[in-house]
Amino acid sequence: MERFTLKKLIHMISQREISSAELVSIYFQRIKKYDHFLNSFITLNQESAEEQSLIADKKIQAGNYDLLTGIPYASKDIFCTKGIKTTCASKMLENFVPPYDSTVINQIKNSGAILVGKTNMDEFAMGSSNETSYFGPVYNPWDLERSPGGSSGGSAAAVASGIIPIALGTDTGGSIRQPAAFTGITGLKPTYGRCSRYGMIAFASSLDQAGLLALTAEDIAIFLEAMSGFDPLDSTSVEEPVPQYSDSLHNSIAGKTIGLPKEFFNNSLDTESQRILNQGIEIYEKLGAKITEISLPNVGYSVPTYYVVASAECSSNLARYDGIRYGYRDDNTKDLDDLYRTNRQIGFGDEVKRRIMTGTYVLSAGYYDAYYLKAQKVRQLISNDFEEAFKEVDLIIGPTTQSPAFNIGEKIDDPVSMYMNDIYTISSNLAGLPALSHPVGFFDKLPIGMQLIAPHFHEYQLLNFCHLFQQETDFHLQQPQAFLDD
């Protein structure tokens, strides 16, 4: 079976070319056939999904259905799902079954889409390779010896291999865009506050944002309309109208100005990636956009700034996991201190513990001003750089990653090298800006991604640029050959 876009599946269902029940059955067959190679799912929701597909078919037959009715999707295992395990890929939450749905899951459920399962991820979204999962690493469908990126690697691998048409992810410092680049698909991190964070298990509260991974910008535009909007349950949600993203996909970009930050095109970037990115920039020029060099003078401080802020917030958010109210609990302990110590020692993996300890250190007495407060000041400078740049340009373009996907095991024992994978993506999280990665070419049969960054709440512009690019190219339609049915 070919990989179908979401747009194609919606057309097939509306024209009665296929039923929702048949569609859900096909995707579960593909998951059964292929996911043992990928390890992209932690939990499947088959019985419930099949029941919902029958209900969806009745609505479709009666003509009383919504655009996404009967469409299967997957969710990163960080969104709370009522009655379905939500593990965050951690032993700490291995058996946690939430009593409620996150707002985003509830919005998508109300739109008629059907949750097929929960995808694998780096533990508590901490990682850039999907190797820190308690349930084992995820493998890249383009090369099973390589990483699909992280932390939303399970969602990316599932979409890229065609075992699901679209999937939810989260992005704290690049965790949607980097996996999208490594697996040759499209990934969007919306503006901070665009999508509700209620019921999305927190890593770094001022950085985390829900987003999407799909084959095309058009697919993301359709789904984003369903999951966006103000949520009174989320204090970080912004009361901003949700546009019809699909309506602006075909707008001309002639005369629009694209900024190329000189800080992004430096020695950190792989030579072949640079060459392929230049070819992608030429396509945008062909579409009528003007290219100009810009500077983001403080963006070079993004990585250290991010790892101070994110680790501090991680330390605070994960303090709640003590094994008393919920989470892993070891009953063979001597006293309360031993209970806390043992539960957290066994319940958390090495990377999570590393970040908790770093965060606790930078928040401790005598170091708060030297590290955390200073990082917040630099964060504001980075945000100011973007604000100044957007006075001159409509969009910023750069690489998503330094190189194509690296091998499993190549960086896991070198945290600093792993952290540098986010060098191009972190700055937009620090500034709360929307950003998107789309495939721009291949090197040595591995996908290369290009990143687009826009002003706050200009997701429509990212999707518009990307859609026009995808009308001119077919990189997003190329498939990993090992996952094509006979």
The DSSP symbol for 453 reads E
Lowest mean pLDDT among 22-26, 235-239, 265-269, 355-359: 265-269
Kindly report the average pLDDT of the chain as a whole number. Answer: 96
| Model pLDDT for residues 401-422, shown as the tens digit of each residue | 999 999 999 999 998 889 888 9
Integer Cα distance of 226 and 195 in angstroms: 10
Integer Cα distance of 385 and 296 in angstroms: 5
The 166-171 sheet, strands edge to edge: 41-44, 114-119, 72-76, 166-171, 209-214, 186-189, 435-443, 446-453, 395-399, 257-261, 290-294
Q: Specify the residue for token string 């090992």.
A: 482
- Residue 48 CB neighbour total at 10 angstroms: 15
Q: Give the pLDDT band (50/70/90) at residue 288.
A: very high
The whole-number pLDDT of residue 30 equals 96
Identify which of 249, 223, 229 has the alpha carbon closest to the alpha carbon of residue 72: 223
The whole-number pLDDT of residue 486 equals 62
Distance between first and last Cα of the chain = 8
Q: Specify the residue for token string 């001597």.
A: 334
CA atoms within 13 A on the CB side of 428: 37
Contact 399, 420 (CB under 8 A): no
Task: Pick 6-254+433-483's CATH classification: 3.90.1300.10, 2.160.20.10, 3.20.20.70, 3.30.10.20.
Answer: 3.90.1300.10
Q: Is the peptide bond before 437 cis (omega within 30 degrees of 0)?
A: no
Domain boundaries, the chain: 6-254+433-483
Q: Give the pLDDT band (50/70/90) at residue 186.
A: very high
pLDDT for residue 1 is more than 80? no
CA atoms within 13 A on the CB side of 479: 16
Mean pLDDT value across residues 208-213: 98
Pairing of strands 446-453, 114-119: unpaired
Contact 296, 382 (CB under 8 A): yes
Q: Is 320 helix (H, G, I), strand (E, B) or coil?
A: helix
| Model pLDDT for residues 421-469, shown as the tens digit of each residue | 899 999 999 999 999 999 999 999 999 999 999 999 999 999 999 999 9
Contact 404, 444 (CB under 8 A): yes
| Model pLDDT for residues 297-334, shown as the tens digit of each residue | 999 999 999 999 999 999 999 999 998 888 999 989 99
| pTM passes above 0.75 | yes
Contact 462, 338 (CB under 8 A): no
The whole-number pLDDT of residue 416 equals 86
Q: φ and ψ at 145, to 5 degrees? A: -90, 0
| Model pLDDT for residues 156-183, shown as the tens digit of each residue | 999 999 999 999 999 999 999 999 999 9
Higher pLDDT, 125 or 481: 125
Mean pLDDT value across residues 208-233: 98
Our measurement of the distance from residue 449's CA atom to the centroid of its chain's CA atoms, rounded to an integer in Å, reads 14
| Model pLDDT for residues 77-122, shown as the tens digit of each residue | 999 999 999 999 999 999 999 999 999 999 999 999 999 999 999 9
The whole-number pLDDT of residue 298 equals 97
Active site residues: 76, 151, 175
Residues 6+ apart with CB under 8 A from 108: 68, 73, 115, 168, 223, 226, 227
- Residue 442 CB neighbour total at 10 angstroms: 16
What DSSP assignment string belongs to 41-59?
EEEE-HHHHHHHHHHHHHH
